[in-house]
Structure 1
């Protein structure tokens, strides 16, 4: 069982570790400078802690994340979970992973050559579809093969950074990190949005342990927490290492994103060979994440509709392929507002799942917390779309933590308290 925990933990690490996770910590490192340690601790708390907790929360239910949302209302559970899977799957998550892989592995060596995105995504999605066809083999294919290669490449970059990168002292923190480094790191980790993906990946982990003979809720929860710890420790070490590399790049020039920082660092460490190592890391990270999302979406919609799993993942892969060829900027421009709306609701559902027994599982608590969270998150999402609402903005900006993107937190607490005060006499049907 220890071997299974380790292998499944490696699989979970690879599923979480997409290109977005690779480029956030170096940006944090270069901006936080001498305030790096409190900033990275805040980042790990939300960028690692929340996804691990979300995976454990899924182990509380029998089938999938829809049961968590059913505590609010079955119709809400159906709609919200469907939106989550579509968002992290064929609409945004999978296409974004493939286009990021292209832009960081192929485009730097072939700038200006037309038609390559089409060729790259064709090969990429054929490979994704083939690996996703048999989900029972996912643990072996990713946990035993892809993840060790990914980790080895990451270790090479990180050790090279520690030993070979010029030991330039960390620079002064930017304005945001100078005053509240922990909370800004906290907000950056929250923006990785892995907690949403965890709602999908959680059932893959649970099914992997069921295939190995664990069937009791207590046994699944214990095994899932151990696996989450393996993935969490690996993520925390990698985030800290590549974030630290970012602190050493402050004097190396101006960068547009974390990918530029890592590319420059890799070249500074290993020359042109560094670019190849970084390309391997990005390709493996994006590929494993895409496979995990295709499998998770396929299993969910198979249970929901009864349509053949293979037909569903074929449609998901083709849809992702079409959207990916619209380009990364188009995908990001639409996805950020939608995910900004979805993510707080997912976090509140996860937290309420763990507090379920403490407030008696009353539906009114779920409904009050989710309603006010959704209102605040809808404002944030519309704001990301560029919708100006000056009157509402004046109110929202007064909410605690609104300046760091957590303006929904206070409404969620108030909504939950109101729901508890006016709680129904009948507990939620899923109360335990």
Structure 2
């Protein structure tokens, strides 16, 4: 039996952290902090529950199930083919990777260009060529990710964020603001829903294959040992994420005097200028660029390994090329377009991922191919499709009908249908077991 040293385990946790920690992880916590104001601790608690708790549970679920495909197979073989592909496409070239490339340009390059050049589509195009060229080069050698992420990229990120926090202690930004909007009435729930936008629960399902392959490269093949080490890496990454989110949230909450920027990126820019002057923009640009590179490399690697394993006709390198080219194309649509599309789509598929993760963690009580899986996932899927149609095609005209569901106004109307469907699945399983027992009793020979 091979045991990883504490240093090796730390490097694996660093690698997973850097794969999780991308653009969204930087821009959402400070914006949440400013909007929550004096209720920042309640809001950040909700945010951590979804943005940290769900990803850790996702890693644990994949570790227990063996793979994303095996977990999805518990619902139905067809679902195991369709849903993982939907997740990999969404978290990969359709949304997350392009978002990272576009945001890296907006925060890491555009501020240093003349206004006319910054708004030019050619500037974004040339930048994304370089950005995704670097992503492709790093992705060609997945076995070296632990060294590059764990020893270089993650320490760089953590050091720079720690520098910002230390500076804020000596240069206070200002007083804490007054809670605004839904943060004033439901700070925990709103913080929880904001955690959706990081996409990390979906990423946890995707990154499992990379972590497993990394541990196998260290000589760990035993399934139980592999699972245990994946869980340790998930917990380690989660602790780092929590630490960073709290820092960023507190920075945002003390930025009431900086006005009300439209998004977390602009707020962070204002905070950095307040703390470091003109050099703050440069520091923030480096942080965004490194973070976006990390998450893009991790996602291209994960998606390429998945599609190569699923469709053997194309090499890993071929898939990496396709994903980088597609991501570059979508990134050139611009950050606003990507974000406008991502919110409703995430609202539809995120609950399905959450249900899968939670059911996998209840394997002691729910069998792998229980009716609970199919019933719950089917109902949540239907709800997600209906809600997506309501938001995108019917201008929320169904709100009065859907609003009868508990938590719908808070953005979590799927919870009660999921619980009800799970209960029906349990009853159906019980009936099947009862019928089978009765049949066996009738057909058994009498003594």
Please indicate the TM-score interval, normalised by the length of the shorter structure: over 0.9
Distance across 2 between alignment mates of 1:57 and 1:371: 20
Question: Residue 89 of structure 1 is aligned with which of 62, 73, 92?
Answer: 92
Aligned to 2:32: 28
Contact 1:33 1:171 in 2 (8 A): yes
Distance across 2 between alignment mates of 1:199 and 1:170: 37
May I ask how many residue pairs the two structures share in their alignment? 423
Distance across 2 between alignment mates of 1:116 and 1:362: 51
Contact 2:59 2:230 in 1 (8 A): yes
- Tell me by how many angstroms 1:8 deviates: 0.9
CA-to-partner distance for each residue in 1:218-239, whole Å, 9 max, x for gaps?
2122212211121111111111
Contact 2:403 2:409 in 1 (8 A): yes
Aligned to 1:355: 362
Contact 2:29 2:248 in 1 (8 A): yes
- Tell me by how many angstroms 1:386 deviates: 4.2
- Per mean C-alpha deviation after superposition, the further-off stretch among 286-295 and 226-235 is 226-235
Q: Structure 2 matches for 1:283-298, cutoff 5 A?
A: 283-298=289-304
- Tell me by how many angstroms 1:270 deviates: 0.5
Distance across 1 between alignment mates of 2:6 and 2:388: 43
Aligned to 2:154: 147
Aligned to 1:19: 23
TM-score by length of 2: 0.91
Distance across 2 between alignment mates of 1:31 and 1:394: 27
Question: Residue 236 of structure 1 is aligned with which of 221, 242, 256?
Answer: 242
Question: Residue 43 of structure 1 is aligned with which of 37, 47, 64?
Answer: 47
Contact 1:337 1:382 in 2 (8 A): no
Contact 2:197 2:343 in 1 (8 A): no
Question: Which protein is bigger by CA-based radius of gyration?
Answer: 2
**Can you give the 5+ residue segments of structure 2 that lack an aligned partner in the other structure?**
434-447
Q: Which runs of 4+ in 1 moved over 4 A?
A: none
Aligned to 2:116: 112
Distance across 1 between alignment mates of 2:409 and 2:197: 14
- Tell me by how many angstroms 1:298 deviates: 0.4
Contact 1:336 1:384 in 2 (8 A): no
- Tell me by how many angstroms 1:189 deviates: 1.6
- Tell me by how many angstroms 1:349 deviates: 0.4
Question: Residue 265 of structure 1 is aligned with which of 261, 271, 278?
Answer: 271
- Tell me by how many angstroms 1:34 deviates: 0.9
Q: Does 1:342 find its partner at 2:346?
A: no
Aligned to 1:429: none
- Tell me by how many angstroms 1:134 deviates: 1.1
- Per mean C-alpha deviation after superposition, the further-off stretch among 265-274 and 108-117 is 108-117
- What secondary structure does 2:64 align onto? coil
Contact 1:16 1:197 in 2 (8 A): yes
